[in-house]
């Protein structure tokens, strides 16, 4: 609208009136709403921080430690010393080594019985009191022993059964003998370090009358085909398989051909380790494929004054992630004229001589042992 100047100040009055009306009109309009720091209902949400991808976790390493020793017999000429010092006495100097392992294994040479009858003509027959020996073995750390040897039936089937009962009462497994062949061939399964460990044991020694039959108590004889079948069956159920053989020739360090053949058969069928007994002296070690073979561990605590069984070793086998990883052989003195039925670790030059002997015998099986401060050591990647 064009403004018309009028006299007497009318123009000024009209302009003021128009300005006031305009202000009132603006004041009555709806206010515009905008978000404030306290008003987040219409704010754009901030992006959430990205969730980091879960770190890749590795399965924990499983480790199983097995200690193995040679022949154990606390009767015979050891009897008077046992009665004098007690049946824990033979293990006082070595149990600190044995108890580093979760499983402790040895060859129990002779029945634990006060009864039975000696029905087989033999030059040497052994037995030990069950209520004394079995608990002492358990206190020393033993939780499994082989019964597959040429003395388990020195006092007949009753002596063998008494042994099995005494061991079970003490919490020790017996393997390699039973009320019939099927039972003698049955594997023993043990749990250690998150793994299942199977043990099998066989005797390849006379008298033949001690061998189990379908309906006859006795020891499991090591027929090659049966060994192959038993090891394969055990391997299907266990993470680690250990096979024991009572074999070889007494007092001889040389191997017989069948020892090598059977040991290789066991490893080929799935065994991780083979442990041998019977010669009463040490024999060599062999690293074969992914396994290890200890052909003879000699004597341990044994009730005789032998001029040939003077040096032996405690084997410490380590398995990691279900594979054999390391072997340590600690030399021990078993000359009873000196130690009086109490095996003792050797040190210094005496230990070095035993390691050198083991190295020499093992070289014949293309296996190199390392001397680490008087202990013979073999690792899975060393040969």
Q: State residue 22's pLDDT score.
A: 40
144 occurs within a structural domain: yes
Q: Is residue 7 in some structural domain?
A: no
Q: What is the pLDDT of residue 381?
A: 85
Q: What's the pTM?
A: 0.85
* Neighbour count for residue 31 (Cβ, 10 Å): 5
CATH of the domain at 134: 3.60.21.10
How many domains in the chain? 1
Q: Which residues form the domain of 198?
A: 63-379
Q: Please classify residue 27 by burial: count the beta carbons closer than 10 Å to its beta carbon, then call 0-12 exposed, 13-18 middle and 19+ buried.
A: exposed
Give residue 383's pLDDT: 73
Kindly state whether residue 32 falls inside one of the protein's structural domains.
no
Q: Cβ–Cβ contacts within 10 Å for residue 359, how many?
A: 17
pLDDT of residue 123: 87
Q: How far apart are CA 374 and CA 156, in angstroms?
A: 42
Percent helix, strand, coil in the chain, to 5, is 30, 25, 45
Residue 14 included in any domain: no
Are 107 and 67 a contacting pair, CB within 8 Å? no
Residue 96 lies in a domain: yes
Q: Do the domain assignments include residue 238?
A: yes
- Cβ contact 106:69 at 8 Å: yes
Residues 6 or more apart in contact with residue 77 via CB below 8 angstroms: 303, 304, 305, 336
- Asked if 182 and 219 touch (Cβ cutoff 8 Å), the reply is no
Q: Who's near 78: CB < 8 A, 6+ residues apart?
A: 90, 301, 302, 303, 304, 336, 341
What's the CA gap between 172 and 210, in Å, rounded? 22
pLDDT in tens, the chain (383 residues): 343 333 344 334 433 344 433 433 434 444 343 333 333 334 445 555 555 655 556 667 789 999 999 999 999 999 999 999 999 999 999 999 999 999 999 999 999 999 999 878 888 999 999 999 999 999 999 999 999 999 999 999 999 999 999 999 999 999 999 999 999 999 999 999 999 999 999 999 999 999 999 999 999 999 999 999 999 999 999 999 999 999 999 999 999 999 999 999 999 999 999 999 999 999 999 999 999 999 999 999 999 999 999 999 999 999 999 999 999 999 999 999 999 999 999 999 999 999 999 999 999 999 999 999 999 999 998 87
Using CA atoms, how far apart are residues 329 and 83, in angstroms rounded to an integer? 31
Whether 258 maps to a domain, the answer reads yes
∠ Cα 45 50 52 (to 5°): 160
Is 123 inside a domain boundary? Answer: yes
* CA pair distance 146, 71, nearest whole angstrom: 10
Predicted local confidence at residue 345, as pLDDT: 98
The pLDDT, as a whole number, for residue 61 is 77
């Amino acid at each position: 609208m064009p403004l018309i100047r009028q006299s007497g100040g009318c123009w000024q009055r009209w302009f003021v009136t128009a300005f006031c009306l305009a202000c009132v009109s603006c004041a009555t309009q709806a206010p515009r709403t905008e978000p404030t720091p306290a008003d987040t209902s219409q704010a754009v949400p901030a992006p959430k921080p990205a969730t980091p991808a879960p770190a890749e976790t590795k399965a924990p390493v499983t480790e199983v430690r097995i200690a193995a020793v040679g022949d154990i017999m606390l009767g015979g000429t050891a009897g008077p010393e046992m009665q004098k010092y007690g049946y824990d006495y033979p293990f006082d100097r070595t149990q600190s080594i044995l108890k580093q392992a979760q499983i402790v294994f040895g060859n129990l040479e002779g029945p634990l019985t006060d009864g039975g009858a000696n029905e087989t003509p033999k030059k040497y027959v052994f037995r030990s009191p069950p209520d004394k020996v079995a608990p002492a073995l358990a206190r020393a750390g033993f939780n499994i022993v082989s019964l597959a040897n040429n003395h388990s039936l020195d006092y007949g089937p009753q002596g063998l059964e008494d042994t099995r009962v005494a061991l079970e009462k003490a919490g020790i497994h017996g393997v390699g003998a039973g009320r019939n062949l099927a039972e003698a061939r049955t594997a023993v399964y043990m749990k250690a370090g998150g793994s299942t460990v199977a043990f099998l044991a066989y005797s390849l020694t006379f008298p033949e009358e001690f061998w189990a039959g379908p309906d006859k108590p006795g020891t499991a004889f090591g027929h090659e085909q049966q060994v192959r079948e038993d090891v394969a069956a055990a391997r299907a159920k266990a993470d680690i398989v250990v096979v024991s053989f009572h074999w070889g020739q007494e007092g001889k360090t040389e191997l017989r051909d069948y020892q090598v053949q059977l040991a290789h058969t066991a490893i080929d069928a799935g065994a991780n380790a083979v442990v041998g007994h019977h010669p009463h002296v040490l024999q060599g070690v062999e690293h074969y494929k992914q396994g290890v073979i200890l052909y003879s561990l000699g004597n341990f605590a044994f009730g005789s004054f032998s001029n040939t069984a003077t040096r032996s070793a405690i084997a410490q086998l380590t398995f990691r992630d279900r594979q054999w990883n390391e072997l340590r052989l600690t030399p021990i003195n078993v000359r009873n004229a000196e130690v009086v039925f109490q095996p003792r670790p050797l040190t210094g030059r005496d230990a070095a001589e035993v390691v050198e002997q083991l190295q020499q015998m093992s070289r014949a099986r293309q296996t190199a042992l390392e001397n680490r401060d008087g202990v013979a050591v073999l690792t899975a990647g060393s040969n």
